[in-house]
């Protein structure tokens, strides 16, 4: 809906209040009141947890329904960190603390309830694993990977955009790789910000650069992310792709190292161009051109503005950092009630290098949208900020 813009503001504007869940009718409130209770029940039914784990899950469900954040046990391996992060928050209602923090704390409590960090037999068992495997092994993925064969008829520029849009829209239910020009035009029409020209210019100017790709979800979203990484490596646009994932399960389907390996196996076993990409990626990982990072900060309830020095140095050394998905976007812009037209470059001025956000809109955090675009979308009378029907490619050099 809009082309690339020249956002040259160097300093961030004053920060507005963080998004919270205590606003009637808000998306954040629906997450706490509707999504989290359902998720606890889904996790409890997904694996044959023994009585002690089921009691712990029941206690978490009661905590969520009562809407009071109970502290972690003092024996929790990261209890001191969460106690520090939660100073002034633990004991309050989930909906009254910043949305990003409260949602993150819920998922940490969910892992505690399943025994993920304990010393027993459930240590290291991904509570979301059954959902991830069902999606990755499903027949829908076969068709999506087969669609890659259609990219052979596209020009190099068309193929690059098709793979980029496939990665962008990867967490939408109607994922495909956009292998037709008609499909690409339809996808582009739903971009509220379209900085693809700036994205490709940043990549090409630094080629073969070192690109950090900060992944979001596993399964059907991670597959097209990996295909995009293969395109960058195979085409000489990147000398190295560093794939940042979560060190352990976080939000429902967030990608971990185990999920990356599962997706690589799925790609490598596929026929046609998907299998060729899988084989190249497998080799790239063996050669060190595709590397994994699983920094603990990836599972912290904090915005990227508060990243530790070693992670800041990592992003500063990259020719480009690509932030995938809604959660990374929320952390990138601080998950605050910004006026939607606030310049993206201003809000992300703290970030230590060029950054691009590939994000499907699924929450209220939003910046960098031109006033005219906002007026057009709002005038249509249909929800668009949290429904996943619109997306953005947002870049800052």
Average per-residue pLDDT for the chain: 92
Instruction: Copy the structure tokens of residue 265.
Output: 């196996």
Percent of the chain at pLDDT > 90 equals: 88
List domains and CATH numbers for the chain. Answer: 27-125 (1.20.930), 131-396 (3.40.50.10880)
Stretch among 5-19, 43-57, 84-98 having the lowest mean pLDDT = 5-19
pLDDT tens sequence across 219-253? 999 999 999 999 999 999 999 999 999 999 999 99
- Tokens 């919270």 locate to 20
**Which residues on adjacent β-strands are paired with residue 355?**
321, 396
Neighbour tally for 323: CB within 10 Å: 26
> Which long-range CB contacts under 8 A does 301-307 form with residues at least 24 apart?
301/85, 301/100, 301/101, 301/104, 301/105, 301/108, 302/85, 302/100, 302/331, 303/100, 303/330, 303/331, 303/332, 303/333, 303/334, 303/335, 304/331, 304/332, 304/350, 304/351, 305/334, 305/350
Is the backbone of residue 90 left (phi > 0), alpha (psi -120 to 50) or beta?
Answer: beta
pLDDT tens sequence across 179-227? 333 444 445 678 999 999 999 999 999 999 999 999 999 999 999 999 9
pTM of the entire predicted model: 0.94
pLDDT tens sequence across 370-382? 999 999 999 999 9
């Amino acid at each position: 809906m809009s082309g690339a813009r020249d956002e040259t503001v160097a300093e961030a504007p004053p920060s507005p209040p963080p998004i919270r869940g205590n606003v009637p009718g808000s998306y954040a409130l629906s997450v706490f009141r509707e999504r989290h209770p359902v998720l606890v029940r889904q996790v409890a039914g997904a694996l044959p947890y023994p009585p002690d784990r089921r009691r712990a899950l029941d206690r978490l469900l009661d905590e969520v329904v009562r809407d009071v954040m109970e502290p972690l046990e003092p024996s929790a391996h990261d209890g001191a960190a969460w106690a520090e992060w939660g100073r002034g928050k633990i004991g309050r209602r989930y909906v009254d603390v910043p949305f990003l923090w409260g949602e993150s704390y819920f998922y940490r409590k969910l892992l505690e309830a399943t025994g993920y960090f304990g010393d027993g037999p459930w240590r290291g068992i991904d509570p979301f694993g059954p959902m991830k495997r069902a999606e990755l092994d499903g027949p829908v993925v076969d068709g999506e990977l087969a669609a890659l064969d259609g990219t052979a008829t596209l020009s190099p520029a068309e193929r690059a955009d098709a793979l980029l849009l496939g990665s962008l829209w990867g967490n939408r239910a109607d994922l495909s790789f956009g292998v037709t020009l008609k499909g690409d035009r339809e996808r582009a029409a739903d971009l509220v910000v379209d900085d693809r020209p700036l994205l490709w210019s940043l990549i090409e100017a630094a080629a073969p650069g070192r690109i950090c790709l900060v992944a979001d979800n596993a399964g059907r979203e991670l597959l097209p992310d990996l295909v995009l990484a293969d395109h960058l490596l195979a085409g000489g646009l990147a000398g190295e792709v560093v794939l940042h994932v979560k060190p352990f399960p976080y939000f429902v389907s967030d990608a971990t190292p185990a999920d990356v390996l599962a997706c690589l196996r799925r790609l490598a076993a596929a026929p046609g161009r998907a299998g060729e990409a899988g084989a190249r990626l497998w080799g790239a990982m063996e050669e060190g051109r595709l590397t994994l990072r699983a920094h603990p900060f990836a599972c912290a309830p904090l915005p990227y503005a508060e990243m530790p020095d070693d992670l800041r140095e990592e992003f500063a050394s990259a020719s480009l950092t690509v932030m995938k998905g809604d959660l990374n976007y929320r952390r990138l812009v601080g998950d605050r009630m910004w006026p939607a037209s606030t310049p993206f470059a201003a809000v992300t001025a703290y970030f230590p290098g060029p950054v691009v956000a590939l994000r499907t809109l699924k929450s209220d955090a939003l910046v960098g949208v031109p006033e005219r675009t906002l007026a057009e979308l709002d005038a249509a009378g249909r929800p668009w900020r949290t429904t996943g029907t619109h997306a953005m490619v947002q870049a800052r050099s």
